[in-house]
Structure 1
């Protein structure tokens, strides 16, 4: 099930589409303090200081009581005391309901209210910059007359509509207001817009908005998302096998954080990454040191950049800039890149996989055949792409049962018969992975997939493949690097079921 929170307005929570009763005000205050420090461990003393301005000795017992009730209400948070403190990792949304932290009192929440209000204001102005809607800008400027950024945007919008005199009048109004209220002159950005209008040389800044659409039924990945949110604007790397949902996860993180990057979002899938970044900001056919030119263009800017399917470290090594964030996806973890926090996109948890499957096929099949549903998901290694395709197949056949689907999956003649013929998307990631394997890797993987056991050690692999143990370790580690097998302790590896499904069935065709 999906759990999400909002701090904009009263503190609220939803499990899927059902709102959760979070209890009395002080209990919600404890939860809010944890959510405001998402991913950060808070000691009991820190929590008490945030929730109570002048705590009495009874605050310790009250905190324990509230934590107990929060754990019972929200077991998904896994909120256990560790080293004398608590950590929450959660998805927090901005649903624009009203004043942040409504109803919560105290110095800490007053300060956070100001911070969240400023955060919302900047997000609104980022939207206004993207849209350049004159009417909405006029309303915003009227509400916040001393803010220079929306005033400059309004001047842009008016000038673009041929209303030069009105644009210049906005500058005069701003200058008079700043002088009267604060004794200040307009700042450099406002003066620059004014000067460019006078010269007839005003061009709105190019602001790339290239994020792919978010997925409406995105499910799970709470821990991975929380780790990424804690890292940004540092560089986040997402690694996992082909088809594990790396791009979807990167896109979800991008949509959750795009409001923090006012200069735009760039999505790149190319071997010449620097060239595509420069094209996104209006530099066509760049020559010379493209990475250096990109760093020059990005200096002082705040971009969110997703670089999908990175092939090698060299293509992204010199592209990070202060203030901007990069999210990399790569099958192999590029350990040679400094300063990257890596997140693995493996299979969903068992609970997440069931929730996702239910979203696709509905509850009827799962409730009628829970054990068979669990078996299907297990054979698909809980990978979201495979679940989506197989679930879509089942949903399109209302007279089928999950047992029928399993029976089809169990056919071990040729691969096209073992998986529904129109479900090639399930196989595509494995096909792509196979194409990138060496002969030694492919041979070992096929031998492993035909064994009865899902676990193998170094000596068994050497005997099975007829290769010396020292050499076979390199092959095993190479397969682990692309997530086709999972390393356990040193010298032992596990085979995911979907990998066994594909390579076990491929082996007869390739070795006959």
Structure 2
């Protein structure tokens, strides 16, 4: 795509003679696909001699040495390379490489580049850019139809119709053809007044200016997209906020729009976002049809059932899922689990909410408070917001309130409902045996959970206890350590301690 070149940081890498660059180009054009020695030789040499085998081995050695990042692998008499390929749109594709294989690839890449340029022009409907493109490729009908659309939407109906008549005359004179269906359709829509601007959804939630941490998770998501990214973790861990931050970082890559859906009828909501009202039939199939050739960013928040999002991923578009449960049955999803922030990140987040002066005045109490909240962003925001609204309160006062777990219901702080809202939502989805088990742990103030001890405390059957523990681990209310042992997060212990005190007080 242009000359075959490579860089490491800002420094260009020497790729050797023409045939060595041709070998590299053949590998990259088949990115991730194993090519046998014979296939590579046929691609690079139109009339190979016996010495081609030795030359190929030499080139492979030099390519490996120059570009260790390629992860160039040799297996079963063939080679595989993986890389990100960049088309800088400068000059002829594969410039300087000759031969039947590269001539055919040049035609394919030129067509691909032309279509990509027209896709870009369609999204922007820039009149000047379309006029330049039509002048360069006068017999291509798609850009003429786009130019007619852009002129009409710009209030230049006469010019749009004039372009249709000029296109009709040119096609008749040069090719003996009438305009194709796309040109005729746009012409008819202009005459009927039925031409409207394309619908471009922009539904991402606002990004939070005080977003803190998650650098490793963000980096992994950026490497994965446009593959599907899944974010799982307990309620209150910041899954939605993280998905939103990632969405804002990459939304420029998806010019056809960003769609945000919160569970439920996901396919139906996606279709409504692109202008399909009251969709019926196979909604997933209809969405795939509408998304074909487009680049959408789709964020589906709080997925409870894998069936809600199955078969909705489309080539070129990206999907970010959040779910309390990791949906193992969904293929092709790169999952990452988030929990509390690191200690440094949690302190930074809390300082930003409360203010550095008050937070730094009680560093030890801040540490205790954050540990009781398991450094989860949602409850930290609530407590920090409450303290910032009450300048007469100290951080130690909040810590002392949380330590009164053994007292009855009147010990609950007034802001408790907001602080423990993630736990209330999680509690509502538990069955009675799961809830009873967590209350037993909270009553014993137990941090590390052993299967046998759990059975003794709860009075349950050991076999059933194993299933209950795994069920609780699946929704991140306990954390698996080693086989048969789990950890109970402090925030979960705080909530179920308060609930136990309220029920027995």
> Would you call these one fold, judging by a TM-score over 0.5?
yes
User: Retained in 2: the 8 A contact 1:237–1:327?
Assistant: yes
Helix, strand or coil at the partner of 2:482: coil
Structure 1 pair 150–361 and aligned structure 2 pair: CA distance change class (3 A) = farther
Structure 1 pair 50–202 and aligned structure 2 pair: CA distance change class (3 A) = same
Residue among 381, 388, 401 paired with 1:388: 381
1:234 matched to 2:213: no
Helix, strand or coil at the partner of 2:310: coil
Task: Extract unaligned runs of 5+ from structure 1.
Answer: 1-45, 56-84, 87-110, 116-121, 176-185
The two structures, once aligned, show a CA RMSD in angstroms of 4.0
- Cα shift readout 1:50-93 (whole Å, capped 9, x = no counterpart): 636469xxxxxxxxxxxxxxxxxxxxxxxxxxxxx99xxxxxxx
1:295 corresponds in structure 2 to 288
Structure 1 pair 173–329 and aligned structure 2 pair: CA distance change class (3 A) = farther
Distance, in Å, in 2 between the alignment partners of 1:265 and 1:163 is: 30
User: Retained in 2: the 8 A contact 1:295–1:319?
Assistant: yes
1:256 corresponds in structure 2 to 249
User: Retained in 2: the 8 A contact 1:360–1:388?
Assistant: yes
Structure 1 pair 361–204 and aligned structure 2 pair: CA distance change class (3 A) = same
Distance, in Å, in 2 between the alignment partners of 1:170 and 1:381 is: 65
2:343 corresponds in structure 1 to 350
Distance, in Å, in 1 between the alignment partners of 2:427 and 2:13 is: 61
1:450 corresponds in structure 2 to 443
1:405 matched to 2:382: no
User: Retained in 1: the 8 A contact 2:258–2:297?
Assistant: yes
User: Retained in 1: the 8 A contact 2:258–2:298?
Assistant: yes
2:47 corresponds in structure 1 to none
1:360 matched to 2:320: no
Distance, in Å, in 1 between the alignment partners of 2:121 and 2:351 is: 35
Distance, in Å, in 1 between the alignment partners of 2:386 and 2:167 is: 61
1:217 matched to 2:215: no
Alpha-carbon deviation of 1:271? 1.7
1:460 matched to 2:453: yes
Helix, strand or coil at the partner of 1:431: helix
User: Which one is further off, 150-159 or 389-398?
Assistant: 150-159
User: Retained in 2: the 8 A contact 1:389–1:423?
Assistant: no
Structure 1 pair 324–464 and aligned structure 2 pair: CA distance change class (3 A) = same
Distance, in Å, in 2 between the alignment partners of 1:493 and 1:263 is: 45
1:504 matched to 2:504: no
Distance, in Å, in 1 between the alignment partners of 2:394 and 2:486 is: 34
Distance, in Å, in 1 between the alignment partners of 2:353 and 2:430 is: 33
User: Which one is further off, 500-509 or 160-169?
Assistant: 160-169
1:82 corresponds in structure 2 to none
Distance, in Å, in 2 between the alignment partners of 1:320 and 1:221 is: 25
Alpha-carbon deviation of 1:503? 0.3
1:418 matched to 2:412: yes
User: Retained in 1: the 8 A contact 2:409–2:502?
Assistant: no
1:437 matched to 2:430: yes
Helix, strand or coil at the partner of 1:371: helix
Distance, in Å, in 2 between the alignment partners of 1:150 and 1:393 is: 57
User: Retained in 2: the 8 A contact 1:126–1:259?
Assistant: no
Task: Extract unaligned runs of 5+ from structure 2.
Answer: 1-5, 16-67, 70-85, 91-115, 169-178
Alpha-carbon deviation of 1:416? 6.0
Give the number of the structure whose alpha-carbon radius of gyration is greater: 2
Distance, in Å, in 2 between the alignment partners of 1:418 and 1:127 is: 59
1:25 corresponds in structure 2 to none
1:334 corresponds in structure 2 to 327
User: Retained in 1: the 8 A contact 2:130–2:146?
Assistant: no
Distance, in Å, in 2 between the alignment partners of 1:368 and 1:209 is: 43
2:469 corresponds in structure 1 to 476
Alignment of 1:368-383 (within 5 A): 368-383=361-376
Helix, strand or coil at the partner of 1:488: strand
Distance, in Å, in 1 between the alignment partners of 2:302 and 2:183 is: 40
Alpha-carbon deviation of 1:286? 2.0
- Cα shift readout 1:322-370 (whole Å, capped 9, x = no counterpart): 2222111111111011111111121111111111111111110222111
Structure 1 pair 506–168 and aligned structure 2 pair: CA distance change class (3 A) = same
User: Retained in 1: the 8 A contact 2:121–2:130?
Assistant: no
TM-score when normalising by structure 1: 0.68
Structure 1 pair 114–292 and aligned structure 2 pair: CA distance change class (3 A) = closer
Distance, in Å, in 1 between the alignment partners of 2:166 and 2:343 is: 60
Alpha-carbon deviation of 1:232? 1.1
- Cα shift readout 1:171-219 (whole Å, capped 9, x = no counterpart): 89999xxxxxxxxxx9998997567546754222222111111111111
Distance, in Å, in 2 between the alignment partners of 1:266 and 1:321 is: 14
User: Retained in 2: the 8 A contact 1:440–1:475?
Assistant: yes
- Cα shift readout 1:24-59 (whole Å, capped 9, x = no counterpart): xxxxxxxxxxxxxxxxxxxxxx9869636469xxxx
User: Retained in 2: the 8 A contact 1:393–1:423?
Assistant: no
Distance, in Å, in 2 between the alignment partners of 1:171 and 1:284 is: 31
Alpha-carbon deviation of 1:431? 0.7
Distance, in Å, in 2 between the alignment partners of 1:340 and 1:167 is: 45
- Cα shift readout 1:150-172 (whole Å, capped 9, x = no counterpart): 99777545423532134457889
1:51 matched to 2:11: yes
Helix, strand or coil at the partner of 1:252: helix
1:316 matched to 2:316: no
Q: How many pairs align?
A: 403
